[in-house]
Structure 1
Amino acid sequence: MVTAYPDRFAAFATLPVTVPDAAAAELERAVGDLGFVGTMISGTIGGRFLDDPFFSPILETAARLNVPIYLHPAPPPKPVADVYYTGFADPINQVLATGGYGWHYETSLHALRLIIGGVFDRLPELKVILGHLGEGVPFHLPRIDDTLTPLAGQLTKPVSDYFREHFWVTTSGYFYDGPFRLTREAFGDERLIFSVDYPFADNRRAADWFDRLDLAPEVREKIAHGTVDELLRLR
């Protein structure tokens, strides 16, 4: 598809993340030989987050290649689901654990662990994309700074600075005015990327919502495509 329509599509690599050295080699091949623009990694891997040193080869390679990791949600590990997301009808349990609530907060925790674990101090070129208007981070960011930054003396700057310097945020599936305003305030227009969430959300709804937002023309252009063009080196 990318080869057939290079002016319309680009691709993230899928990696064998349970074997980090092989995953790093595959990322190198996907970016260097195939022209992929980064990788998407979903949820925890064998119950571990990416701040675990086990995954360092993947993060180091992404940083060296100057391509982002799209940190995407996934269903929680079974021990977590059994405690947090049971007791209701199966469809409710499933949505509560995933798109209705659970996986957004697991992903924001994942991002926070990368910061607290010192990953960005070790790899200052590493870039991460979060979907769903930041997976709840914009709402919690001031409190994170109040409570965690004073304890994280091993870091070189406040936790919020890492979010603003190393993370980009898409609108995928979150076409709501209030959360969008909050995310602009928390991350700045330079870090926001318009995105649909196909097939989980309607593309027309996403486009209509974005078209009616009260944005200056230069801001609209930046969020619509300018920022992601630069981040993914699409132009």
Structure 2
Amino acid sequence: MKVIALEEHMFPRDLIESEQLDFGLRAGAKIPDLDELDEGRLRIMDEAGIDVQVLSALGWLVQNLEPARSVPLSRELNARLAAAVSRHPDRYRAFASLSMTAPRDAAAELARCVEELGFVGAMIHGQTDGVFLDDPSVRPVLETASRLGVPVYLHPAPPPTTVLDAYYSNLSPAVQACLSTSGWGWHSECGMHVLRMVAAGVFEELPDLTVIVGHMGEGLPFHLDRIQDMLGPVVTGHSLTVADTLRRNVYLTTSGYFSDAPLECALSTFGADHVLFSVDHPFASSSRATAHLRDAPLTPSDREKIAHENAEALLSI
């Protein structure tokens, strides 16, 4: 069975050092793995049975920098991604890193990456200085993705300081760092981010825009009926319901979630055609991820869709 993994992170160590980027406790511990794009990473992929990784820079820090820094640094990250794909063209694809503090530059960079470098979409890390993707200022990026027929992978990011202080204060540094991000907080924010896009009519304006969210849907599958019951009646004037818009425009990946119940929930709400395999390397185990893919209670057809067929169709791989 061919396996394509979509949420697989990288970041060059030399750029972390030269730009003095603070990756925090958890991501900082993974810098050697984020930096590795050759033998070490390929060995992990081979041992787990992963044929292709779609690489993405862990770029929330870059995304939020002032344009004078973020624009050239995003281009450099994309150059590093392109070089890795060039060295291992059968094993890697890439999502573009974008400077979201300069949306028109970001749109132009996305077009360049797709049309000249062969990238398969973009990864955007949450809100940018309080600006979400429903804001008109970032519409050029979404319009470009829609025009090019490539997805935007919306990945969570650590919360702003105001949110951190309001919701996650009076905790140990380790607990605060985890609870505000991968232990809970950024999943709920990312799901809310998608709902803002639906409610604001982004997908009415751009019906062909595709958004991918990881971590088995960032809570959207579990809450879908409640979302429709509560939010649906107040989102008016749209051609589709909130739930049907999500099912049309949003795809989910399995990144970091390797148990049956969340997968079954995602399948029952979004359908097997909208679920794709991911690991979340290096923050999750590739071998554990593929073991669950092989052993999960799936039909042979659904297993192939999740493992590679949906990715091949969505990303034109």
Alpha-carbon distance in structure 2 between the residues aligned to 1:144 and 1:216? 29
Aligned to 2:213: 130
CA-to-aligned-CA distance 1:115-157 (integer Å, 9 cap, x gap): 0010000001100000000000011110111111111113221
* Alignment TM-score, normalising by the size of structure 2: 0.73
> Where does residue 182 of structure 2 map in the other structure?
99
Give the match for residue 54 of structure 1. 137
Which structure carries more helix by proportion?
A: 2
- Within 1, Cα distance between the matches of 2:138 and 2:118? 23
Do residues 225 (structure 1) and 298 (structure 2) align?
no
Deviation at 1:12, TM superposition (A): 0.4
How many angstroms apart in 2 are the aligned matches of 1:150 and 1:20? Answer: 32
Q: Indicate conservation of the 8 Å contact 2:260/2:297, yes or no.
A: no
Aligned equivalent of 1:85, options 155, 164, 168: 168
1:2 aligns with 2:88: no
How do 1:106-145 and structure 2 match up within 5 A? 106-145=189-228
Deviations 1:144-186 (A, max 9, x none): 1111111111322110111110011000001121111001001
Secondary structure in structure 2 of the residue aligned to 1:129 = strand
Paired AA for residue 303 in structure 2 = R
Query: For the residues of structure 2 that align with 1:154 and 1:46, how far apart are their CA atoms?
Result: 30
Deviation at 1:16, TM superposition (A): 1.0
SS across alignment from 1:24: helix
Aligned 1:13-32 pairs, distance under 5 A = 13-32=96-115
Q: Tell me how far apart the structure 2 counterparts of residues 4 and 34 of structure 1 sit (CA, whole Å).
A: 13
- Partner SS state of residue 169, structure 1: strand
One-letter code aligned to 1:41: I
Moved over 2 A (4+): none
Deviations 1:45-79 (A, max 9, x none): 01111100010100100000000000000000110
The answer as to 2:273 corresponding to 1:190 is: yes
- Equivalent-residue separation in structure 2 for 1:82 and 1:154 (angstroms): 37
1:202 correspondence with 2:285: yes
**Please, which of 53, 60, 68 is the counterpart of residue 151 of structure 2?**
68
Q: CA deviation at 1:208?
A: 1.1
- Look up the equivalent residue of 2:123 and give its one-letter code: M
Q: Paired residues, what number? A: 234
Equivalence map 1:146-185=2 (5 Å): 146-185=229-268
